[in-house]
Structure 1
Amino acid sequence: MRSRLTSIAFALLVAASSAHAAEVVYGPDGAPTVVQRKLHTMSSRWEAGLTLGTALNASLVDHYGGLLSVTYHPNEWADFGVELGANYTRVSALGQEVRSQLPPRANPRTGTANSGDDVRGADQMKGALLAMGRVAPIYGKINPFGEASVHFQAYALAGAGVGMFRHDSMDLCAAPGTAACDSFASESYTRPVGELGAGMRFYLSRTISLRTELRAFFHPATVVRGADLTQPGTGSTERYLGVLTVLGVGASALF
Structure 2
Amino acid sequence: MKRFFRVLLALCLTAPVLGFAQTTEEAEAGDVSEVDKDRLGPLRERVRPVSGHVFLKKGRFEFSPSATLSLRDAFYSKYIFGGTLTYHPMETLGVSLRVGYAINTVAGAAQKCTFGDGGEGSTRGCVPPTLDELDGNAPGQIKLLGGADVQWAPIYGKVSLLAETFVHFDLYGIAGASVVQYRGPGDSLGAEAQNYLTPGANLGVGARFFLNRWITLRTELRDLIYVEKGTEVSGNYLRNQLLFELGVSFFFGSES
TM bracket (short chain): 0.5 to 0.7
TM-score normalised by length of structure 1: 0.67
Which has the larger Rg?
Answer: 2
| 2:198 equivalent to 1:188 | no
Asked whether the 8 Å contact 1:45–1:73 carries over to 2, the reply is: yes
- Aligned AA for 2:217? L
Partners of 1:74 and 1:251 in 2: how far apart? 20
Asked whether the 8 Å contact 2:185–2:229 carries over to 1, the reply is: no
Identify the match of residue 79 of structure 1 among 85, 94, 98: 94
Partners of 2:116 and 2:60 in 1: how far apart? 59
Instruction: Name whichever structure is richer in strand by fraction.
Output: 1
Q: After the TM superposition, which parts of structure 1 deviate over 2 Å for at least 4 consecutive aligned residues?
A: 1-14, 90-95, 100-104, 119-123
Shift in Å, 1:159: 1.4
Shift in Å, 1:174: 4.3
| 2:255 equivalent to 1:248 | no
- Aligned AA for 1:138? I
Partners of 2:82 and 2:29 in 1: how far apart? 57
Unaligned runs of 5+ in 2: 1-16, 31-49, 118-135
Asked whether the 8 Å contact 1:222–1:237 carries over to 2, the reply is: no
Per the alignment, in what secondary structure is the counterpart of residue 238 of structure 1?
coil
Partners of 2:93 and 2:108 in 1: how far apart? 41
Partners of 1:66 and 1:11 in 2: how far apart? 67
Q: How does 1:21-36 map to 2 (within 5 A)?
A: 36=51
Instruction: Note the aligned Cα RMSD (angstroms).
Output: 3.2
Unaligned runs of 5+ in 1: 15-34, 105-118, 176-184, 225-234
Per the alignment, in what secondary structure is the counterpart of residue 219 of structure 2?
strand
Asked whether the 8 Å contact 2:185–2:230 carries over to 1, the reply is: no
| 2:67 equivalent to 1:52 | yes
Asked whether the 8 Å contact 2:173–2:206 carries over to 1, the reply is: yes
Partners of 1:187 and 1:5 in 2: how far apart? 92
2:210 is matched with: 203
TM-score normalised by length of structure 2: 0.66
Q: How does 1:124-143 map to 2 (within 5 A)?
A: 124-143=141-160
2:114 is matched with: 101
1:146 is matched with: 163
- CA deviations on 1:207-245 (whole Å, 9 max, x unpaired) are 100011111111112332xxxxxxxxxx44523311111
Instruction: Name whichever structure is richer in helix by fraction.
Output: 2
Asked whether the 8 Å contact 1:122–1:168 carries over to 2, the reply is: no
- CA deviations on 1:98-134 (whole Å, 9 max, x unpaired) are 2x63789xxxxxxxxxxxxxx9962211111211110
2:180 is matched with: 163
1:19 is matched with: none
Per the alignment, in what secondary structure is the counterpart of residue 73 of structure 1?
strand
- Aligned AA for 1:163? V
Shift in Å, 1:94: 4.2
The 1:130/1:206 distance shift into structure 2, 3 A limit, reads same
